[in-house]
Each structure stands twice: as structure tokens, then as C-alpha cells.
Amino acid sequence: MTHRFTGRTTLVTGGGSGIGRGIALAFAAEGANVVVAGRRQEPLDETVALIEAAGGKALAVTADVTRADDVRALVDAAVDRFGSLDVAVNNAGVLEAAGTPVADVPEDAWRRMLDINVTGVLLALQAEVRQMRTQPGGGAIVNIASRIGVHGRIPGTTAYGATKAAVSVLTRGAALDHIADGVRINAVSPGATATPMSLQPGETEAGRAERMRTAVPLGRVSTVEETAAAVLYLASDDAASVVGTDLVVDGGSTA
């Protein structure tokens, strides 16, 4: 096992579940001090307990990424506890109105996705960059977009895909704006990953596996660990010259 993040502070939004928890555990396994954030305390505490049981250090902070005050307080809490903010993963996101054609997407669902998936990433990026650019070592940020934002060709997920396309564009532009500040910004665009978000309404995991056999060239969903590995690569010194990219981890769906 390599330890690319020993002593580095890593913040993961949406770190209480799914891909975010997998990312948090993977950073902790490589020596990072991990701060997990989300709106609900209990799942965050579970992630912290898993990290601590494996001998790592972690902190749970409740925060709503749509609130600038919350996100600023979150970054401050990370720095107060561990002394710096070296890596941030903006993973919090929601998929609503799945299966709904564009004309029928409820306005409130559209606004919630815009607020969490786009405004939430922007506010987090702002607070993170403002901290990282004051540090001698700068920092690295990875935003979680989606392969649906890459081509938008999955019927019933266009509104969600539009918010994720915005994350990709935000990533490229912010990367150029802030590389001179010592902050490297990239994105990972997962395809269908093994969390409840990739289940269709009423679908079982076995049903999803059957659907993925033909829907994905690789023949299966990506694991949370495979997606996390891409995030850790982009956040690591191995990717020191990778700036503003969007790394697609989707079993070939967009190839």
C-alpha cells in the first residue's frame, strides 16, 4: 500500500455515503486526515468510525453546500483541527426526477439540482481555493461530475446531466483561473457506480447487474473503490501536471 497523503488534510463533501464514503476511506488508507461533510450527522459519524477503527484520523462536520456560511465554516473547521486544507473533493450531489422527460421535470427538482450540484460546487470551490492559496504548498481539488454530463444521451436524466456538464465547465475554467495560485483543479466523471443512485426506481442490485451487462461496454457498474482510485490519482503528486481535466470512469460508456 502506498501512502501518498500522509499528514495531508482532505475534505470530502457527501462523505457520509456512497462514492463520498469510498473516497474518504481511500484517502484515510493512504494516510490523510479526513474531514467528511454533509447535511446529516449520523452517516458522517459512521464514516469517521470506520476510519478511526482502521487507525486513521477523521472529523465529521455537518454542512449544507448550498449555504456559503456553512462551507466557509467547514473549511475553517478542517484547518482548525488539522492545520491545513491540502485536498478537497466536491462530491455532494443529487439526482432528482430520474426517468422524467425534460418537459415534465418539476421546477423545484430542477432548482434543487442546480442549487446542490452547481452552486454547491461553486461555493465549496471558492472557500477551498481561498484557503489553499494562502498555504505554501497550495492544494488540489477534485469535483465529481458525471458521464451523463459528458454526452447527455440518457433519456430521463437530461436536467441532472445539464448540472453535471456545468460542473465540468466550472472545473476547466477554475483550473485555469487558479493554477497560478498553486491550486490544481480537476474532475472525475463516474458512469454508473455501485450505489443506490444508479438503481432505477424499484430496481434491485441483481436487476441493475443484468441491465449493465448490455448497457455498459465493460458489462458492469464501476465499484466505489475504482471511482475513488481515479480521485486519489488526480489529487496526488503523480498528477502534478494534470490541470483542468475531466477523467471519465465509466466502463467505456462514453468511448
Q: Which residues bind ligand NAP (CB under 6 A)?
A: 13-14, 16-20, 38-40, 43, 63-66, 91-95, 116, 120, 144, 146, 190, 192-193, 195, 197-198
CB closer to ligand NAP out of 18 and 56: 18
CB of 63 to ligand NAP, least distance (A): 6
CB closer to ligand NAP out of 197 and 209: 197
- Strands of the sheet containing 87-90, edge to edge, are 57-62, 33-38, 9-13, 87-90, 139-144, 183-190, 246-249
- Span between the terminal Cα atoms of the chain, in Å: 31
CB closer to ligand NAP out of 17 and 168: 17
CB of 6 to ligand NAP, least distance (A): 26
CB of 36 to ligand NAP, least distance (A): 9
Please say if 160 is a catalytic residue: yes
Answer yes or no: are the C-beta atoms of 27 and 34 closer than 8 Å.
yes
Report residue 33: phi and psi, to 5°: -85, 125
- Sign of the dihedral through C-alpha 246, 145, 225, 154: negative
What 8-state DSSP symbol labels residue 20? H
Is residue 214 classed as helix, strand or coil in its secondary structure? helix
CB closer to ligand NAP out of 137 and 207: 207
Of the candidates 5, 27, 82, 160, the residue annotated as catalytic is: 160
CB closer to ligand NAP out of 119 and 134: 119
Query: CB pairs under 8 A, 24+ apart, for 98-102?
Result: 98/156, 98/157, 98/160, 98/200, 98/201, 99/156, 99/157, 99/200, 99/201, 100/156, 100/159, 101/155, 101/156, 101/158, 102/158, 102/159
Q: Which of 72, 175, 86, 77 is nearest to 134 (CA)?
A: 86
Task: Determine how many CB atoms are found less than 10 A away from the CB of residue 195.
Answer: 18
Amino acid code (one letter) for 60: A
CB of 103 to ligand NAP, least distance (A): 23
CB of 204 to ligand NAP, least distance (A): 16
Task: Determine how many CB atoms are found less than 10 A away from the CB of residue 138.
Answer: 17
CB of 64 to ligand NAP, least distance (A): 4
CB closer to ligand NAP out of 116 and 183: 116
The residues that are catalytic are 160
